Amino acid sequence: MIDKIKQLINEIGGISAANNEELEALRIKYLGKKGEINALMADFRNVAAEQKKEVGMLINELKNKAQDRIKELKEKFESQETVSDSIDLTRTAYPIKLGTRHPLSIVKNEIIDIFGRMGFCIANGPEVEDDWHVFGSMNFAEDHPARDMQDTFFIESHPDVILRTHTSSVESRVMEHTQPPIRAIMPGRVYRNEAISYRAHCFFHQVEGLYVDENVSFTDLKQVLLQFAKEMFGENTKIRLRPSYFPFTEPSAEMDISCNICGGKGCPFCKGTGWVEILGCGMTDPNVLELCGIDSKKYTGYAFGMGVERIANLKYQVKDLRMFSENDQRFLEEFESAN
């Protein structure tokens, strides 16, 4: 047995491997559970008592030498830089194709940037909301059509919990916890129970704005929106405000811009009118201020809201709103230059 151990010691000193697979085979051969060294340890009980000390020392020497040699070969492989045979080193280098930002993200960020330069901060709120913040605090009557199941997604097990239909719910949360002056915009996703078509979807994105302070007037609102329109669609853009109705503003208005395609002359896109609607706005109803804990006798405010898809539609002339959510790579690649 002593001769066999000495033979293995000499043998291990000269082992080598060309790759990791051969090295693993050598490790198993000498150090594995059924390897040479474990076999010697199993036979150790048959060694004569007077030889046990010598044999034990030789087995330990063999084991240590095997471990050191395997470790040495492993470190050698790890330090070597290998190049796969499948790589053609003569091939000309080519650029890695980068992804693009989504057009809605591009437009949303541009809207945020424009209003950010006018002093508006960003406010966020939950998409799963309660009825009070979505409707009650926004002056919606109990029998208002927007509360109907056809427009709103309700949580079946909790009738008062809904998916927000507008980001006005964030306005109420801001007013509840902040005293004027308040100047904020609320970007986010909203949900409505509508049939999906080229002009509508069950979810879309909004950016709403709110300004509450002393002596805020409709003139302030008009000037802010005019500045926004010029920065978003060009310096020559004109706006007009048409009377409208919203439960949370009084007076209320719809804002149109001069068609950015025909310059206001009339075309199929603006249906020959020269104007295109982009948002709703108005002076914050005193009832909304009071419901949110703000003194309506001291403070006034204005609010506005726009659909990000609508702005993107006008800016990039996307005729089918479904394209924004279908993740078509060909469509997204069209916005590489807009990043």
Query: What sign has the CA pseudo-torsion 313, 193, 205, 292?
Result: positive
Task: Tell me the pTM.
Answer: 0.67
Query: What is the pLDDT at residue 262?
Result: 77
Task: Tell me which of 8-12, 206-210, 285-289 is least confident.
Answer: 8-12
- The residue with tokens 């030889």 is 51
Average pLDDT over residues 71-82: 73
Query: What is the pLDDT at residue 85?
Result: 56
Average pLDDT over residues 310-328: 85
Query: What is the pLDDT at residue 223?
Result: 96
- Asked whether residue 83 carries a pLDDT value surpassing 60, the answer given is no
Task: Tell me which of 56-60, 179-183, 222-226, 227-231 is least confident.
Answer: 56-60
Show me where the domains of the chain are located: 2-79, 103-338
- Asked whether residue 149 carries a pLDDT value surpassing 70, the answer given is no
Q: State the chain's mean pLDDT as an integer.
A: 86
Alpha carbon separation from 163 to 153, 225, 254, 316 (Å, rounded): 6, 28, 25, 29
Query: What is the pLDDT at residue 187?
Result: 96
pLDDT tens track for 185-232: 999 999 988 888 877 788 899 999 999 999 999 999 999 999 999 999
Read off the tokens for 204. Answer: 């879309």
- Asked whether residue 150 carries a pLDDT value surpassing 70, the answer given is no
Query: What is the pLDDT at residue 168?
Result: 93
Task: Tell me which of 17-26, 82-91, 93-102, 330-339 is least confident.
Answer: 82-91
Query: What is the pLDDT at residue 339?
Result: 56
- Asked whether residue 123 carries a pLDDT value surpassing 90, the answer given is yes
Read off the tokens for 215. Answer: 């002596």
Q: How confident is the model at residue 80 (pLDDT cuts 50, 70, 90)?
A: low
Q: How confident is the model at residue 315 (pLDDT cuts 50, 70, 90)?
A: confident
- Sort strands 158-163 and 128-130 into parallel, antiparallel or unpaired: antiparallel
Q: How far apart are CA 289 and CA 296, in angstroms?
A: 6
Q: How far apart are CA 103 and CA 338, in angstroms?
A: 8
Phi-psi region of 32 (alpha: psi -120 to 50; beta: other; left: phi over 0): beta
- Asked whether residue 101 carries a pLDDT value surpassing 60, the answer given is yes
Q: Which candidate, 296, 297, 286, places its Cα nearest to that of 251?
A: 286
Task: Tell me which of 60-64, 85-89, 334-338 is least confident.
Answer: 85-89
Sheet holding 249-258, edge to edge: 121-122, 182-191, 203-213, 300-307, 275-284, 249-258, 239-246
Q: Which amino acid is at 1?
A: M
Average pLDDT over residues 309-315: 88
Task: Tell me which of 20-34, 171-185, 260-274, 297-311 is least confident.
Answer: 260-274
Q: How far apart are CA 14 and CA 8, in angstroms?
A: 10
Q: How confident is the model at residue 86 (pLDDT cuts 50, 70, 90)?
A: low
> What's the CATH class of domain 103-338?
alpha beta
Q: How far apart are CA 87 and CA 96, in angstroms?
A: 16
Please write down the HEC assignment for all residues of the chain.
Answer: CHHHHHHHHHHHHCCCCCCHHHHHHHHHHHHCCCCHHHHHHHHHHHCCHHHHHHHHHHHHHHHHHHHHHHHHHHHHHHHCCCCCCCCCCCCCCCCCCCCCCCHHHHHHHHHHHHHHHCCCEECCCCCEEEHHHHCHHHCCCCCCHHHCCCCCCEECCEEEEEECCCCHHHHHHHHHHCCCCEEEEEEEEEECCCCCECCECCEEEEEEEEEEECCCCHHHHHHHHHHHHHHHHCCCCCEEEEEEEECCEEEEEEEEEECCCCCCCCCCCCCCCCEEEEEEEEEECHHHHHHCCCCCCCCEEEEEEEEHHHHHHHHHCCCCHHHHCCCCHHHHHHHHHHC
Task: Tell me which of 34-38, 68-72, 121-125, 256-260 is least confident.
Answer: 34-38
Pick from 46-55, 115-124, 145-154, 307-316 the range whose average pLDDT is largest: 115-124
Query: What sign has the CA pseudo-torsion 30, 36, 41, 47?
Result: negative
